[in-house]
Structures are given as C-alpha cells and as structure tokens.
C-alpha cells in the first residue's frame, strides 16, 4: 500500500530549512540535508519545492511578511511617537528571536534567488509601514526641511545596526533588556536632534526606500 501523504510536510520542510539557515547560512542548505532531517526522500521535498532556490525564496518572503506583521501590530498605538518607537523595538526583537529569518532578509545574498518587483515590494512592506508612521509624526511636529524617506532610512539603519551587531555578538551587551535600552537611547538622540529642529538638515535630494540590489557609483 502507498504511504499516506503527510499533510504537514510543506510546513516541516520550511521549518527544517530555516533551522539550517540559522546553523549554516543559506549556502549550507541542500534538499538532501532537509530530507535527512525529516527522515524522508529528497524526491518528497521536490514535490513541494522545485529547487533549493524556490525553497529559500519562500522563506525570504515569509520573513518579510512576519516582520511587516510586527510593524502592523503597533499601529493601534494612539501616539505616533509610540508607534515609531514600538516598531523599532519590534524589529530588534524580531531579529533576536528569529535569527534565521533575519539572515535571509538582511544579511545574506542567496545565489540563484531572483526577486521580482512584486517580491521586493512585499519584502519592503515593513519599511513602508514604519516610514508612513514616521512621516505622519514629522508632519505633526512641523519641523521644516525634514525629508521623511531620508529620516526613515536613518532610523532603519540605527535599528538594523544594533540588531546586526547584537546577533554577531559585537556589542558589550547580551541581555535583551540592555539591547532595548540601547536602542531607546539611540532613538531618543535622534528625536532630540531632528524633531527638535536642532539637527543639521541636508540639502534636498532623492531619497527612496532601501534596495538590496542598488549599485553604488565608484566615481
């Protein structure tokens, strides 16, 4: 008799692949390794995912969706400042609790994984949510000369930097509470400078949302 189909196999494949990302990075994943972890054949894996690249793309998109959900969860806060601070702290906690997803989103370039414009929009939704909250806050504060997209990139870089350094053990803090305190201090410095009107305002230029595929000029 044929073996009964496993209704949770697709979910199980994604779970084990994510564990491998945490341990070895995306380049360490093979369909055979995932199959070995699950005690099934590689053929069974290919019934759900056409290739390793297809599997990693699904995980990358899942990571983007989960981070966006974290951002959405703070939108009910009545004060815009609390929304922006809350989103920053949710980002940090997402990275600390989900290092595999974080690697796929922000730290590793996965060879062979091609992102369509629709994929990129989906993966950047978390940034867009934070940017919209920040833009609304800037408008209410009424400080002239502030470019919302630029400041969103600055805040994003601060949060990303602290999270990445924490995950690579390059900060003198290991406790989550200490890391959140550090992040809150960094945000307070930004708020006290930019939104008080005392920070330097740079000349206007095009500021857009971040792109992993952007090429920098070397001229």
Question: How many folded domains does the chain comprise?
Answer: 2
Alpha helix positions (H), 40-108: 42-46, 52-72, 80-97, 99-102
Task: Give dist(CA 16, CA 126) in Å, integer.
Answer: 25
Q: What is the pLDDT of residue 200?
A: 55
We report the CATH number of the domain holding residue 72 as 1.10.357.10
Are residues 65 and 23 part of one domain?
A: no
* Whether residues 102 and 180 fall in one domain: yes
**Mean predicted lDDT score pLDDT of the chain:** 86
Cα dihedral value 208, 209, 215, 218, nearest 10:
50
**Residue 87 sits in the same domain as residue 161:** yes
**82 and 145, same domain (yes or no):** yes
Instruction: Give tens-digit pLDDT for 47-87.
Output: 999 999 999 999 999 999 999 999 999 999 999 999 999 99
User: H-helix or E-strand containing 13?
Assistant: helix 9-24
Task: Say what the pLDDT of residue 170 is.
Answer: 94
Cα gap 79→1, rounded to integer Å: 62
The C-alpha atoms of residue 93 and residue 180 are separated, in whole angstroms, by 8
Contact in structure between 104 and 60 (CB atoms under 8 Å): yes
Q: Is 46 helix (H, G, I), strand (E, B) or coil?
A: helix
Contacts of 134 (CB under 8 A, 6+ apart): 84, 148, 151, 152, 155
Domain assignment of residue 123, given as a range: 61-194
* CATH classification of the domain holding 9: 1.10.10.60
**What would the pLDDT profile of 81-127 be if each residue is shown by its tens digit?**
999 999 999 999 999 999 999 999 987 777 778 889 999 999 999 99
In terms of domains, do 123 and 158 share one?
A: yes
């Amino acid at each position: 008799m044929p073996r009964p189909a496993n209704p949770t196999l697709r979910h199980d494949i994604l779970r084990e692949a994510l564990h491998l990302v945490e341990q070895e990075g995306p380049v360490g994943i093979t369909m055979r390794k995932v199959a070995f972890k699950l005690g099934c054949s590689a053929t069974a894996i290919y019934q759900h995912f056409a290739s390793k690249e297809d599997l990693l793309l699904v995980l990358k998109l899942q990571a983007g969706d989960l981070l966006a959900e974290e951002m959405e969860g703070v939108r009910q806060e009545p004060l815009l400042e609390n929304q922006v601070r809350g989103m920053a702290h949710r980002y940090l906690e997402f990275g600390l609790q989900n290092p595999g997803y974080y690697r796929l989103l922000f730290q590793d370039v996965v060879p062979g994984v091609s992102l369509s414009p629709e994929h990129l929009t989906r993966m950047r939704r978390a940034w867009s949510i934070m940017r919209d909250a920040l833009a609304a806050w800037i408008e209410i504060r009424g400080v002239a000369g502030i470019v919302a997209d630029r400041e969103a990139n600055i805040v994003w870089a601060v949060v990303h930097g602290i999270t990445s350094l924490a995950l690579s053990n390059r900060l003198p803090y290991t406790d989550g509470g200490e890391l959140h305190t550090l992040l809150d201090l960094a945000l307070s410095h930004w708020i006290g400078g930019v939104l008080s009107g005392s920070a330097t305002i740079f000349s206007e230029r095009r500021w857009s949302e971040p792109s992993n595929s952007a090429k920098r000029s070397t001229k």
